[in-house]
Amino acid sequence: MTRKGPDAPSSSDTLARRVQELDTIASVLPIERRDELAELLTDQDVDTLRHLVNQGMGANTLRALTSDLAYLLAWSLAATGRSLPWPAPEALLLKFVAHHLWDPEKRLTDPEHGMPADIENKLRLQGFLQKKGPHAPDTVRRRLATWSTLTKWRGLQGAFGSPALRSAIRLSVRATPRPRRRKSAKAVTGDVLAKLLATCATGSLRDVRDRAILMVAFASGGRRRSEIAALRKEQLQPEEPIEVDSGPPLPSLAIHLGRTKTSGAENDEVVYLTGRPVDTLNAWLHAAKIDKGSIFRAIDRWGNVSRRPLDPKAINDIVKHRAGLAGLDPAEFSAHGLRSGYLTEAANRGIPLPEAMEQSRHRSVQQASQYYNSAHRRSGRASRLMD
């Protein structure tokens, strides 16, 4: 892609320098777009991202912000032939909404309604558009929020709160009704988890790792895939074994999560593992000879364990892969299913909501209780009046 406008690279040296600068913040960038980002982003964009990395912004947040910024830049070039202006005029914000939130039925009679075909084709060829049809309203809102945030970081004021923009979004959302869907169509409850674990039975290094990932992610309260991918040996703290009425004491382990998506910057969130998940995790650490650094790592085809952590996306891929091996539909499961599945399973077993939330670290009772309400509605008396 050739960048146009006053910010265009003047030589290959400029582009090479920008690629090198991006490599210094590689951990938060979509790796498949590294070279493309070097062409899209200005020097000021790269400086902003590097500053945020140094300030300790969460890697997932930065990755999403960078992805949104790349899309906005690519869309602006495709739609206007120019780089994204700072601050953006209200007319450009309204154009963005019109291109992404539109009525599919009206598109049938008016081909010019929504995003013009030439712009759509450009973005699709670049890999920025995958599905056909209008965008999800939440995606549009998030990208506008990213746009607004980046504008403020530049010390500028945008028209993101204008009545015209708010009205355009509200009316456009009405024209593009979409049912809300969970991040994972189905929860990975205890019975589903057992099927996934049954596919990790060969004793291979990959099976030992995947078994540990599934058990730790579920038993620690349904940890997010970013938290599992980022786990380090230094976050694990052995605890005194748990005494039980029958049998030997159960091994116990504390996981110090540090700052999470829902915690404050100064909080150190702690969750606990007890029993089989601890044994499974220790088996992986022993088999992979990991005594420091990242816990869950890639394994090459020769069985060599990488020193680098798994990408969060790999956790999602593992869940889908295991679902396929178990004879389930991979499209119906994702890493988030471990999180929703933990709360659903807790509800099915009658564990009080506050106790389950202590482990899942949900901050919103309303959000966490949705899983409980669903479980109780399925099995409660109100749904069995004809019995």
pLDDT of 174-192, one tens digit each?
Answer: 766 555 555 556 889 889 9
Instruction: Give me the mean pLDDT over the 256-278 stretch.
Output: 74
**Is 347's pLDDT higher than 50?**
yes
Per-residue pLDDT band for 278 (boundaries 50, 70, 90) equals very high
Lowest mean pLDDT among 116-125, 149-158, 188-197, 285-294: 149-158
| Predicted model pTM | 0.58
User: Considering the domain boundaries, does residue 163 fall inside one?
Assistant: yes
Between 209 and 151, residue with greater pLDDT: 209
Per-residue pLDDT band for 193 (boundaries 50, 70, 90) equals very high
Q: Are 160 and 141 in contact (CB under 8 A)?
A: no
User: Considering the domain boundaries, does residue 180 fall inside one?
Assistant: no
Count of Cβ atoms closer than 10 Å to residue 13 Cβ:
9
One domain for residues 134 and 198: no
Between 192 and 61, residue with greater pLDDT: 192
What pLDDT does residue 289 have? 95
User: Considering the domain boundaries, does residue 183 fall inside one?
Assistant: no
Domain count along the chain: 2
360: domain CATH number is 1.10.443.10
Distance separating alpha carbons of residues 223 and 339, to the nearest angstrom: 6
One domain for residues 151 and 246: no
For 90-118, b/e burial (b = at least 16 CB within 10 A) is: eebbbbbbebbbbbeeeeeeeeebbbeee
What pLDDT does residue 275 have? 93
Instruction: Give me the mean pLDDT over the 41-70 stretch.
Output: 72
Structural domain ending residue among the three candidates 175, 208, 231: 175
Average pLDDT, the chain: 80
Structural domain ending residue among the three candidates 175, 206, 235: 175
What pLDDT does residue 265 have? 45
Lowest mean pLDDT among 128-132, 167-171, 230-234, 353-357: 353-357
Distance separating alpha carbons of residues 268 and 257, to the nearest angstrom: 6
